[in-house]
Amino acid sequence: MAYRLKMRIWRGDKDGGALGDYDVEVSEGEVVLDAIHRVQATQAGDLAVRWNCKAGKCGSCSAEVNGKPRLMCMCRLSDFDEEETITVTPMRSFPVIRDLVTDVSFNYEKAKELPSFSPPPRDADNKRRMQQIDVERGQEFRKCIECFLCQNTCHVVRDHEENKKAFAGPRFFLRYAELDMHPLDTNDRRELAQDAAGLGMCNITKCCTEVCPEGIKITDNAIIPMKERVADKKFDPLVWLGNKIGVRNKDNEGRTEL
């Protein structure tokens, strides 16, 4: 059943912009990205929007729908009342390029700062081995599609531009946690996570988890475990004393501090 949807879409660039009103025909079962495309096709051919897969897997169409960070392609119109006006704006944490498109290069800069996986030499048969339960542990983190909605909603950078230099953000804490839990990684990333990546700036208010379209428990399964690992290294006097007198967690042997 088709109906007319009232939309407000932010139009503009870094020099300024405003919310524009649109009235567009939509159908049952469509998503916000469909409505945006129809506006683009019928009323505003120059409307800039970044998208790719329309299936919630490429992470391109991140925006804010009625103020909430969402993937437009996973945001069903049936979740809204037909009379309701839907407001679509670009992500508010990143510099705007035009209309709904933002410059997300901050995230790629942060990715470059993160030392990559560093495995040990191969076994004699030229293989590396991991047990299945160790493989399974990191699978949740591999679901990340890099939509950067978590980065966008994190108040540490959303509300404080100056923190961007010192704060990697939840997407990369996920990566730090994945690698630090990885049995084959030879790097000890705990100091780096706390100091260079700014893990201590996170006050675990869980907005990253709330907006993750993949349902990754970023805070509970990555950030908090990483904070606890940092506490092992930097804030726990008993662990420090144990290290001094030779009582060590053998699980960490073979790792090099970064």
Q: Nearest distance from residue 16's CB to other proteins, in Å?
A: 5
Scanning 27-35, 53-61, 84-92, 113-121 for contacts with other proteins by CB under 8 A, the matching segment is 84-92
Q: Is the Cβ of residue 29 or residue 254 nearer to other proteins in the bound state?
A: 254
Q: Based on the shown chain and the rule CB under 8 A, indicate whether residue 207 belongs to the binding site for other proteins.
A: yes
Binding to other proteins (CB under 8 A): which residues in 165-184? 180-183
Residue 64 contacts residue 88 (beta carbons within 8 Å): yes
CA distance 198 to 192: 8
Q: How many residues bind other proteins (CB under 8 A)?
A: 67
* Residue of 9, 10, 71, 169 interacting with other proteins (CB under 8 A): 10
Q: Is the Cβ of residue 1 or residue 98 nearer to other proteins in the bound state?
A: 98
Q: Taking phi first (over 0 means left), then psi (-120 to 50 degrees means alpha), and beta for anything else, what does residue 56 get?
A: left
Q: Nearest distance from residue 54's CB to other proteins, in Å?
A: 23
Q: Nearest distance from residue 237's CB to other proteins, in Å?
A: 9
Angle between helices 105-113 and 170-180 (to 10 degrees): 30
* Residue of 105, 160, 240, 241 interacting with other proteins (CB under 8 A): 160
Nearest to 191 by CA among 181, 180, 202, 178: 180
CA distance 121 to 47: 52
CA distance 161 to 150: 16
The β-bridge relationship of strands 256-257 and 187-188 is: parallel
Nearest to 98 by CA among 152, 62, 48: 48
Binding to other proteins (CB under 8 A): which residues in 42-71? 64, 66-69
CA distance 208 to 113: 21
CA distance 171 to 174: 5
Residue 98 contacts residue 12 (beta carbons within 8 Å): yes
Q: Which residues pair with 70 in a beta bridge?
A: 63
Q: Nearest distance from residue 225's CB to other proteins, in Å?
A: 5
Binding to other proteins (CB under 8 A): which residues in 219-248? 219-220, 224-225, 227-232, 234-236
Q: Nearest distance from residue 38's CB to other proteins, in Å?
A: 22
Interface residue list for other proteins (CB under 8 A): 10, 12, 14, 16-19, 64, 66-69, 87, 89-90, 92-96, 102, 130-134, 137, 153, 155-156, 158-163, 180-183, 198, 200-207, 210-211, 219-220, 224-225, 227-232, 234-236, 249, 251-252
